Amino acid sequence: MRFAIAVHGGAGSHSENSERNVNKVLKRACLEASDILKNKGGSVLDAVEAAIKVLENDEAFNAGYGSNLNTDHQVECDASIMDSRGSFGAVGAIKGLRNPISGARAVLEGSRPGRKSILGRVPPLLVCGDGAVTYVTRDVSKDLKTLLGPPEKVPIDSLISPRADREWRYWTERYRVANNENPTEEDKSSALDTVGATIICENGEAASGVSSGGLLLKFPGRIGEVFVWREYYRPLFNVEIRLQSTGLVVGRPASILREEESTASR
């Protein structure tokens, strides 16, 4: 089966010294996803999760380890994952999880139709904050059966990289001394945006995911656009468009189009 894989490391800038490493990690993410599909019998969701985990584990990106720190000097991440069958899961402002995308995957799996529900409770599609860690590592993961396994809980401080710590200290001081002098000064930190992956297979199956550490010095509990998704379907042209975050697009059968383009083609 043929497939197309696209990964991105966000819209922030990278120094010349780090650009080579960034490209290597992006390539490794693509290769990891390809290996899942070609050699390990994994699903398109497995492949997307695997690709994003590679990015989350490298401090060069604003996701997972090395993410921007909030005002409390902590990593708080958002992540979501979805497929072309309509399944979706997301986590927001989650702390102490090695790979937020795996938390989102656990939420997705926990919301599937037919899953055992006690007292008829409706499973969530989005969980946030401290309760999110408990939900994805205990409540859902006890019988979670995916190729990559359940999400891993880690000490909160273990997700702080030296670079993220330096930037936090620098900008915390800048904020303190410049609060009245230049309140419009912008954050010039390099890690600014969301990472993501999209995979489309020739049989029409597709999946996408996004993960982000959010803004530097964000208020604790702030959730970005990662968990927001939209679906758009045009039966006449057999084109389906799904959006996550700031524009991650999955088209079916194998077309990547913007909504305005499909509308203009009437």
216 by DSSP, 3-state: which? Answer: coil
User: Tokens 């989005």, residue?
Assistant: 126
Beta-bridged to residue 92, according to DSSP, are 128
Phi, then psi, of 38 in degrees rounded to 5: -85, -35
Distances in Å between the Cα of 68 and the Cα atoms of 10, 37, 64, 145, 189 are 13, 32, 9, 31, 9
> CB-based contacts of 231: which residues, under 8 Å, 6+ apart?
86, 240, 241, 242, 243
Task: Please state at what angle helix 44-56 crosses helix 100-110, rounded to 10 degrees.
Answer: 150
Distances in Å between the Cα of 127 and the Cα atoms of 57, 75, 77, 212 are 22, 17, 12, 15
Active site residue 194: yes
Distances in Å between the Cα of 38 and the Cα atoms of 3, 101, 105, 146, 189 are 10, 21, 21, 17, 38
Q: Which two structure tokens, joined as six digits, stand for 46? A: 């497995």
Please identify which of the residues 137, 146, 194, 198 carries the catalytic annotation: 194
Q: How many CA atoms lie within 13 A of 134 on its CB side?
A: 3
Nearest to 1 by CA among 204, 207, 240: 204
Cα(28)–Cα(199) distance, rounded to whole angstroms?
15
- For the annotated catalytic residues, the residue numbers are 194
